[in-house]
Amino acid sequence: MGFLDELNRRNVFRMAGLYLVGAWLVVQVASTVFPLFGFGTTPARITVIVLAIGFVPALLFSWVFEWTPEGLRKDAGADRLPATAPQLGQRFDRLILLVLSVALLYFAVDKFVLSPLRHAADLREAEQMARREGRSDAFVAADDLSIAVLPFADMSSNKDQGYMSDGISEELLNLLAQVPQLRVIARTSSFSFRDKDLDIAAIAGRLHVAHVLEGSVRTSGKLIRITAKLIRAADSSELWSASFDRQLGDVFAVQDQISAAVVAQLRIQLLGAAPKARTTDPAAYTAFLQARQFSQLGTAEGLDRAVALYRQTLAIDPGYAPALVGLSTSYANQASAGLRPVEEGNRLAREAIDKALAVAPDLAAAHAHFGYLAMTYDGDLATAAEHIGRALALAPEDLGIALDAARLAQTLGRLDQAIAFDEFVVARDPVNPRAHYNLGVDYSYAKRPDDAIGHWRTALELSPNYIGARYNIGMALLAKNDKAGALAEMAQESSDPWRAIGLPMVYHSMGRKAESDAALANLVRDYGHDAAYNIAYVLAWRGEIDQAFAWLDKAVTYHDSGLTDVEVEPEFASLHRDPRWSAFLRRIGKAPEQSAAIRFDAMPPGVKR
């Protein structure tokens, strides 16, 4: 008897079929059940590994043993019990058919019943959370034209090309965000799932999107390989995938091809030309991606490295506008963080952004940053409105520009407009603590303390030490006359300056004058230059009107960026009846009639005034 005949007689082939079908069924059930109990995907992966390891022993078991009418016995050879062989084979066949039928039934039930129910449950949970946080109007459910771009994996041998894989992912995200019909989740939320033990469907559910784009990048010298996959979240099916082996200089064409493929797969009818990546020299692009990665660290060293790398980029390609915008932003961030003198930082930032607009007059990011500088450094709200309005017209879906628009609307006292922009950002960047923090500030200024506290709590859940969140919660509780709660929050504030600002006001409200005086003295001693604006409203809260106006004058001298909010800052309420208040606002261009004269009627896409 041949070896294959012997395998067939011992039912090894049937055992292989039964094992594979049964293993598939077990894996499908495990991948559905384990996440329901909060175990993530790790137990399901372990199940797959165990079943894979058990395949060969199962075949060996079938070779050694056989089923007989007397039970399980060691196989005695081809000449024993010949009459039972066909019966045993039929039993195997029936068992295989039974397991296969159960597997097909489970597949059908999961695809057409369980999966839609899970998806609907995820949406209900997300919507309930949004309502608890006071943002029901901002919540956007997953729809067919929504996508998250996950950070592409760095497949280089030394794992030292993360700036390239992240940079390409972000560039793809930015390209797709230019498609008006497509809702694209922002980088902060998409990249927050890096290295998380979650499958694609779970990530999509958290972000409320219908599709996910993932991939990998491998570089070797001047060669680059980019792979990309577009996945439908509802059933984790792969809609499109491709690999590209190119020279590094062709990376821009690859980005265009991938974005075009996504648009085609989602059957989006473009209203205009397809978005295209801005091209530059490969060496300049590499330095630019590294600079952008360092700038996002938020550290002094990171900003120094970012400035150096942006300069390196511009030494190779002086007209690369995105690098000019990045350089200007880094200078401004250094100045606002006290890492560079304010006047020097403002001058360098302005020089860089002027060059960006000269070489790329239709670059939305350049107009937005120019407007930001005009608003925060110059107090020129009319110029800020002109450029931020232009940026919104060029890139209405850009979330960074929406944040600038919200700040401008806030400083103009148009709180409904500011709330609309920040709600727009939260809906598209749902796990970004900064977005929730900003929306909380809007609600606070609009005298909606409970809504504000909800978003600040969310910011803390996403980033437990988020600077200023507990300070703001404390001030909101103080407005609700919860003095003990306010003091408890101030004590937990992670930022020394914000804690120092809050304590004098809380102690004053509690009637603890000596402690309030001591805390105020410490604040002036430690932060007299950097927090002049804040000291002014602490004094106003304490009823020391003359000193409050004196510190407001210092804030103007120091170019304190806090002055952008002076018109709506609730802590200045005690100054409003003083004739010096209107005169001060008029002097800095923020009197109500001056703000009302500035034209800025923009609203986020889909929102009407």
Q: What does the pLDDT look like over 89-130, one tens digit per residue?
A: 666 677 777 877 877 787 777 666 666 555 555 545 555 554
Cβ-based neighbours of 441, under 8 Å, separated by 6 or more: 410, 452, 472
Task: Give span(s): CATH 1.25.40.10, the chain.
Answer: 278-395
Q: What is the pLDDT of residues 457-496, one digit of tens each?
A: 999 998 888 889 999 999 999 999 999 999 999 999 988 9
Beta bridge partners, 225, equal: 218, 245
The mean per-residue pLDDT over the stretch 323-341 comes to 89
Least confident stretch, 136-150, 217-231, 324-338? 136-150
Residue 246: DSSP 8-state: E
What is the longest distance spanned by two Cα atoms in the chain? Answer: 113
Report the share of the chain in percent with pLDDT over 70: 86
- Rounded CA gap, 148 and 190, in Å? 6
| Residue 68 pLDDT class (50, 70, 90 cuts) | low
- Rounded CA gap, 180 and 157, in Å? 38
- Rounded CA gap, 177 and 187, in Å? 11
The type of residue at 203 is I
- Rounded CA gap, 547 and 555, in Å? 12
- Rounded CA gap, 274 and 258, in Å? 12
73 phi/psi in degrees, rounded to 5: -130, 155
Q: Does CATH number 3.40.1400.10 belong to domain 146-277? A: no
Least confident stretch, 192-196, 258-262, 272-276, 345-349? 272-276
| Residue 131 pLDDT class (50, 70, 90 cuts) | very low
Q: How far apart are the first and last CA of the chain?
A: 86
Question: What's the Cα-to-Cα distance from 298 to each of 72, 324, 368, 370, 424, rounded to whole Å?
Answer: 68, 19, 20, 21, 24
Residue-wise DSSP of 117-182? HHHHHHHHHHHHHHHHTT-TTT-----TTEEEEPPPEE-STTS--HHHHHHHHHHHHHHHHT-TT-
Helix (H, G, I), strand (E, B) or coil at 281: coil
**What pLDDT sits at residue 260?**
87
139: pLDDT strictly greater than 60 = no
343: pLDDT strictly greater than 80 = yes
The mean pLDDT of the chain is: 85
- Which pTM does this prediction carry? 0.69
- Rounded CA gap, 2 and 7, in Å? 9
- Rounded CA gap, 10 and 8, in Å? 5
Q: Which residue has the higher pLDDT, 138 or 300?
A: 300
Buried b (16+ CB within 10 A) or exposed e, 416-441: ebbbbbbbbbbbbbbbbbebbbbbbb
Q: Which residue has the higher pLDDT, 183 or 124?
A: 183
Residues in the chain: 609
- Rounded CA gap, 342 and 349, in Å? 10
**What pLDDT sits at residue 377?**
85
| Residue 1 pLDDT class (50, 70, 90 cuts) | low
Structure tokens at 27: 């894996």
Least confident stretch, 167-181, 306-320, 427-441, 507-521? 167-181
- Rounded CA gap, 583 and 595, in Å? 14
**What pLDDT sits at residue 512?**
96
Cβ-based neighbours of 163, under 8 Å, separated by 6 or more: 289, 290, 292, 293
Task: Give the closest residue to 459 by CA, choosing from 484, 432, 477.
Answer: 432
Element (DSSP H or E) covering residue 370? helix 364-373
> Tokens 């806090």 correspond to what residue?
562
Other beta carbons less than 10 A from residue 543's beta carbon: 10
Task: Give the closest residue to 123 by CA, choosing from 209, 52, 27.
Answer: 209
Beta bridge partners, 242, equal: 228
| Residue 439 pLDDT class (50, 70, 90 cuts) | very high
**What pLDDT sits at residue 418?**
95
- Rounded CA gap, 377 and 144, in Å? 42
Residue 296 CB burial class (10 angstroms; 0-12, 13-18, ≥19) = middle
Q: Which residue has the higher pLDDT, 13 or 579?
A: 579
278-395 architecture in CATH? Alpha Horseshoe (1.25)
**What pLDDT sits at residue 541?**
97
- Rounded CA gap, 313 and 281, in Å? 9
Q: Which residue has the higher pLDDT, 61 or 176?
A: 176
141: pLDDT strictly greater than 60 = no
The mean per-residue pLDDT over the stretch 512-521 comes to 97
Buried b (16+ CB within 10 A) or exposed e, 146-174: bbbbbbbbbbbeeeebbbbbbbbbbbbbb
Report the share of the chain in percent with pLDDT over 90: 45
- Rounded CA gap, 205 and 515, in Å? 49
218 phi/psi in degrees, rounded to 5: -130, 125
80: pLDDT strictly greater than 80 = no
386: pLDDT strictly greater than 50 = yes
**What pLDDT sits at residue 135?**
40
